[in-house]
Amino acid sequence: MAKLSFNLEDQVFVVTGGSRGIGLEIARLLLEQAARVVICGRKEEGLETAGRELDGGSRLLAVPTHIGKSDAVDRLFEMTVEKFGALDGLVNNVGMNIATGVVDADPGLWQKIIDTNLNGTYLCARKAGQMMREQKKGKIVSISSIAARRAAPFMGIYGVAKAGIEMMTRVMAQELAPFNIQVNAVAPGMVKTKFSQPFWSNAEIHEQVVKAIPLGRIAEPADVAWPVLFLCSQASDFITGQTLMVDGGASAV
């Protein structure tokens, strides 16, 4: 048996939403493992700031991308291959939420949240899966959420979208397994990022959330990035179609 290694030297990974928060931390960790990394986001300014912070040199490429548009997704992967000549892994990290329920939500708001979280993930995973199928290897990891399994106030449409990502993960894992492609997901609870700041910065809400977490704190971005690294590495070669809960034990109670 080959010696196990988390080293990803010269492997090529696309990280959507890689300019901040969890995505930025994932990109940083992949670069530390000697991978070549492509980050994308909708705002060029955010990508420029992330590029300076990551300092990946020639091993980093930033591509402005609206992942809800198939032509933009095609361009993202074309530029990845043009720059690095390959695609070994995809981390679907882009996500957004607008606090809302479902019953009284405006249909336009429903579409916006679904397009960003579920459809964007689908378009990227579809394109990556097609490319990886030709080379008969690859890793696809999507960021889900505890909201996919536990209904919560103000997380209605977001939770529906993330639940769709988890089912898509299982379906794609089955379809791509014959081609030695592993498809998995990571589902965090609350993570201390700008995305969730309206919740964790409120002392009362923060206290309520922490009370429900056996490990007694909310996650930092690195708490999510490390499990993603595991699923991007050869250590997960016999794991597919799974969603790894990264919630400090909240779903165990």
Helical spans, DSSP H, in the chain: 21-32, 44-54, 70-84, 107-114, 120-135, 156-176, 197-200, 203-211, 221-232
Active-site residue 122, yes or no? no
Task: Give me the residues paired with residue 138 across strands.
Answer: 181
Which is nearest to 221 in space by CA: 237, 200, 204, 202? 200
Q: For residues 44 and 238, what is the distance between their CA atoms, to the nearest angstrom?
A: 37
Task: Give me the residues paired with residue 61 across strands.
Answer: 38
Q: What is the dihedral of CA 130, 182, 247, 147, to 10 degrees?
A: 40
Task: Give me the residues paired with residue 163 across strands.
Answer: none
Q: Across the chain, which distance is largest between two alpha carbons, in Å?
A: 56
Which is nearest to 182 in space by CA: 230, 224, 147? 230
Q: What 3-state class would DSSP assign to 111?
A: helix
Question: Is there a contact between 110 and 157 (Cβ–Cβ < 8 Å)?
Answer: yes
Q: Which of 13, 77, 84, 158 is catalytic?
A: 158
Q: For residues 98 and 157, what is the distance between their CA atoms, to the nearest angstrom?
A: 9
Question: Is there a contact between 31 and 107 (Cβ–Cβ < 8 Å)?
Answer: no
Active-site positions? 158
